[in-house]
């Protein structure tokens, strides 16, 4: 039982179930195009901020590489410049990886009121849900930012070593991408299910515990979303569907006493 007295279904779903929840969310926004447009606003704001940040990173990557390698000042020009160009490319690549990883968290922080309302409307169409205590918007945003930063720390613990291993021949081109997608996908699910889980009074540690105990659907949902987010502008277009799908997944898996047969019931 969770803190709201609801039964929790653990370990009874498969990878394909998680994929199914995303497509149910996609179906929901397709039937509610106004909500899709509503959900695009914070994603577009976050995209603009990330584009500016990446342009600045690309512009100053060379200066950062030079600052990080003062020991190379006395080297021959060809060797020094090659080292710094390669390091600048690595810095920019790491920036791109972090952008993909953090985009969802940043968008959810920026769009907390938008996505909270979208998530509520998904549940209203499924029969409503008992809510926890309301909190002011400013406190909700601070809480969301704090939880996202904590999640980011966990992501970096896994992602930075995987990024380094990505340069290892063979392993870096086979095993590492699969592990990276799984790690990034899981934490995307953590972020996207936050709104619906908090509505049920679940704190951060409880949310992590539930998803760890039900890894297959969490990975199925998150890996698919991660792959879509890798497509240019995919994160912007798919964000409302991802929030809707995560809400459906939480409701189905945390509230089986309110069964949902499929998209037709949404």
What per-residue confidence (pLDDT) applies to 13? 61
221 near 18, Cβ under 8 Å? yes
Query: Residue 141 and residue 113: Cα distance in Å, rounded?
Result: 8
pLDDT at 173: 80
Side-chain-side CA neighbours of 138 within 13 Å: the count stands at: 0
pLDDT-derived band at 243 (thresholds 50, 70, 90) equals very high
pLDDT digits (tens, 9 = 90+) for 36-73: 998 899 999 999 999 999 999 999 988 888 898 888 88
With beta carbons less than 8 A apart as the criterion, state whether 255 and 213 touch.
Answer: no
CA dihedral of residues 106, 233, 157, 65 (deg, nearest 10) = -100
Quote the percentage of the chain above a pLDDT of 90. 27
**More confident: 224 or 232:** 224
Interval 220-246 mean pLDDT = 92
Domain boundaries of the chain, sorted by first residue: 15-265
In terms of average pLDDT, the best of 45-54, 74-83, 104-113, 158-167 is 45-54
Q: What is the pLDDT of residues 140-175, one digit of tens each?
A: 667 767 777 777 788 788 877 887 888 788 877 888
According to the model, what pLDDT value does residue 19 have?
94
């Amino acid at each position: 039982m969770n803190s709201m007295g609801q039964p929790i279904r653990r370990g009874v779903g498969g990878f394909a179930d998680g994929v199914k929840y995303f497509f149910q969310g996609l179906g929901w926004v397709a039937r509610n195009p106004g909500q899709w447009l509503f959900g695009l606003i914070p994603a577009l704001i976050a995209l603009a901020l990330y584009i500016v940040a990446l342009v600045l990173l690309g512009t100053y990557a060379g200066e950062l590489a030079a600052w990080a390698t003062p020991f190379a000042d006395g080297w021959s020009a060809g060797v020094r410049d090659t080292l710094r160009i390669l390091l600048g490319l690595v810095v920019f690549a790491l920036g791109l990886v972090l952008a993909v990883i953090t985009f969802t968290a940043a968008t959810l922080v920026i769009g907390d009121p938008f996505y909270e309302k979208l998530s509520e409307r998904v549940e209203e169409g499924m029969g409503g849900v008992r809510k926890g205590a309301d909190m002011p918007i400013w406190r909700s945003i601070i809480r969301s930012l704090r939880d996202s930063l904590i999640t980011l720390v966990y992501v970096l613990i896994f992602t930075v070593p995987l990024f380094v291993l990505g340069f290892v021949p063979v392993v870096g081109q086979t095993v590492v991408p699969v592990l990276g997608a799984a790690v990034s996908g899981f934490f995307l699910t953590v972020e996207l299910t936050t709104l619906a889980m908090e509505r049920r009074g679940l704190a951060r540690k409880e949310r992590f515990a539930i998803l760890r105990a039900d890894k297959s659907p969490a990975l199925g949902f998150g890996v698919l979303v991660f792959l879509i987010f890798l497509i240019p502008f995919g994160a912007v277009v798919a964000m409302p569907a991802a929030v809707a799908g995560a809400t459906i997944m939480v409701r189905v898996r945390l509230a089986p006493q309110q069964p949902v047969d499929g998209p037709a019931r949404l």
